[in-house]
Amino acid sequence: MTATPPHHVPVWPPHDGGISAAFLSMLQDGSWADYSGHHGRSLQQALQQMHGSAHCVLCSSGTAAMELALRGCRVGQSTGDEVVLCAYDFKSNFINVLLVGGKPVLVDSLPGEPTVDPQRVRAALTEKTRAIIVSHLHGMNGGVQQIRELAAEQGIPVIEDACQAIGGVYGGRRAGSIGDVSIFSFGGSKLITAGRGGALLTSSTAIAQRVQLWQQRGNEAYPLSELQAAVLLPQLALLEARSVLRMANVDRLHIQLRSDPLLEPVIPAELRLQPGQRPAGFLPAFYKMAFRLRTGVPAELRATIASRCQDEGILLSPAFPALHRIHARSRWRAAGDLANAEDLGQRLMTLHHPLLLQPPGSLDRTAAQISSITANLAGMGSGGQG
């Protein structure tokens, strides 16, 4: 019998006539070499209009945007400044807090979800708290609206990390439009990409002024080039249509894999409703679709599932490790136990978004291959490493 050929890994970014036209236009008019020009201004205006923000600062990466956001919130200006964030989050957020002179305060996630627990956040706040970081991860709503309301009671700014969630809409609000300051990434794998790049949005004039004072050193310290801005603009125009397609394909995968013996899809509660029952103003942005090993499945099986999927060209990988497991204990403070984040760090997996733009036939083949891999491993019992 002839073996089924490995999956073809989708190209990202996809071939796009708008990007090609932008490159050709820049070659003809020389605008790619400008320090600051109309491409960057157009991108700033588009992002501000999209998110209802008064100020937009373009920068070199999402990591740089987080540093600038922390500095804009005055983290590190006093000894002992603390920043609250979920113990399940991207590691550069933790490192940026240390970089600016703050101390990360880690709180637990909700059970089984890559989302910070708002009640744990409330309990973690002290007179030393200078900011709260809330991240939208794996298509989930980070709960930033509720957290901003409780933070406002104590005058604490909320930094909304929408690096994975540009274009997402939750409860009628754009991801990146709710926090006191919000950040985005345009890295090579992101939903819109310039290879590198980022942006910071805020409607606080004070935060915007502090950010500009920090990075203006004759030239901008962390610039986004005109070339990068120009290729982001046509992708921004296609973002909503691609978000709709990704959501439909997450729906399709959820239906086909919800009875998988090893993996449980982790999706927003709204997607578990029938399409006609879903609330208006809901369009999750899936940079990754998450799956969690089912209760009773050994955590060490995750690496085997990932390896076998990747052999087939299926970009299913272990998710982030919990932050408290990869940083020295002296560098952070825990506010309560971190059991849920610990579980996610050991048992969560993520499927990369280019697979979510496949046509139905290819997507069904992806689901069938995942099912075949997990069924074989389940049939071997917990000794599935062989």
Is 226 found in the same domain as 84? yes
Does residue 8 sit within a domain?
no
Is 254 found in the same domain as 219? no
The 10s digit of each residue's pLDDT in 9-63 is 678 988 889 999 999 999 999 999 999 999 999 999 999 999 999 999 999 999 9
Question: Which amino acid makes up residue 254?
Answer: H
The 10s digit of each residue's pLDDT in 213-227 is 999 999 999 999 999
Is 254 found in the same domain as 210? no
Is 319 found in the same domain as 217? no
Is 274 found in the same domain as 200? no
Q: What is the pLDDT at residue 5?
A: 46
Q: What is the pLDDT at residue 10?
A: 77
Domain boundary among 203, 234, 265: 234
Domain boundary among 210, 234, 258: 234
Is 190 found in the same domain as 206? yes
End-to-end CA distance of the chain: 22
Q: What is the pLDDT at residue 1?
A: 38
Residue 33 contacts residue 177 (beta carbons within 8 Å)? no
Does residue 359 sit within a domain?
yes
Q: What is the pLDDT at residue 386?
A: 41
Is 86 found in the same domain as 138? yes
The 10s digit of each residue's pLDDT in 134-153 is 999 999 999 999 999 999 99
Does residue 41 sit within a domain?
yes
Q: What is the pLDDT at residue 123?
A: 96
Q: What is the pLDDT at residue 380?
A: 78
Q: What is the pLDDT at residue 358?
A: 93
Is 255 found in the same domain as 155? no
Q: What is the pLDDT at residue 366?
A: 96
Structure-block tokens of residue 141: 């709503």
Domain containing residue 315: CATH number: 3.90.1150.10
Does residue 110 sit within a domain?
yes
Domain residues for the domain of 283 are 239-379
Residue 337's contacts (CB-CB under 8 Å, 6 or more residues apart) are 108
Is 255 found in the same domain as 174? no
Does residue 12 sit within a domain?
no
The partner residues of 171 in beta bridges, in order of sequence, read none
Q: What is the pLDDT at residue 81?
A: 98
Does residue 139 sit within a domain?
yes
Does residue 157 sit within a domain?
yes
Does residue 384 sit within a domain?
no
Is 122 found in the same domain as 99? yes
Q: What is the pLDDT at residue 8?
A: 60
Is 104 found in the same domain as 247? no
| Euclidean distance between CA atoms 37 and 32, whole angstroms | 9
CA atoms within 13 A on the CB side of 32: 12
Q: What is the pLDDT at residue 384?
A: 45
Domain boundary among 234, 262, 296: 234
Averages of pLDDT over each 10 residues, the chain, 386 residues: 53 88 94 94 98 98 98 97 98 98 98 97 97 98 96 96 98 97 97 98 98 94 97 97 97 97 97 92 97 97 97 96 97 98 98 95 96 94 48
Provide the number of structural domains found in the chain: 2
Domain containing residue 114: CATH number: 3.40.640.10
| Euclidean distance between CA atoms 341 and 319, whole angstroms | 11
Is 295 found in the same domain as 205? no
